[in-house]
Amino acid sequence: MKKFNVTGTCIPTKNYMVDISIKLKKIMELINEGHYFTINRARQYGKTTTLSRIQNTLPAEYICARISFQNTSKRSFETEQAFCQMLLKKS
């Protein structure tokens, strides 16, 4: 029996969710054309689920790194060196 998920990535076979296949197709077109894009919405809009589905859809020649900047200090963004050090610690 499917359930509503409000705590992270939705799994289509276990959770109720909206069909995002058209959105994923458009995102994959952007990626394949080398374009940048952002995913920014309020809480509970499916950002984590969308990123997870993108990662599972990407061909093997892509490397996908999922990094969260939550709880990152303002100091980490002051210089390029500080940012790189913070990024290496998170990966």
Question: Any idea what the Cα angle at residue 67 is, between residues 61 and 68, rounded to 5°?
Answer: 155
Beta bridge partners, 3, equal 15
Tokens of residue 75, six digits: 């100091």
Residue 14 inside a domain? The answer is no
Which residues form the domain of 29?
A: 21-90
Q: What per-residue confidence (pLDDT) applies to 24? A: 92
91 has a pLDDT exceeding 70: no
Q: What per-residue confidence (pLDDT) applies to 46? A: 86
DSSP 16-63: -----HHHHHHHHHHHHTT--------TTSSHHHHHHHHHHHS-TT--
Please give the average per-residue pLDDT across 22-42, as a whole number.
91
Residue 38 inside a domain? The answer is yes
**Domain count within the chain:** 1
Angle, helices 47-57 vs 21-32, to 10°: value is: 60
Return mean pLDDT, the chain. 89
Residue 42 inside a domain? The answer is yes
Long-range CB contacts (< 8 A, 24+ apart) of 67-75? 67/91
**Percentage of the chain lying above the pLDDT 70 cut:** 99
Residue 43 inside a domain? The answer is yes
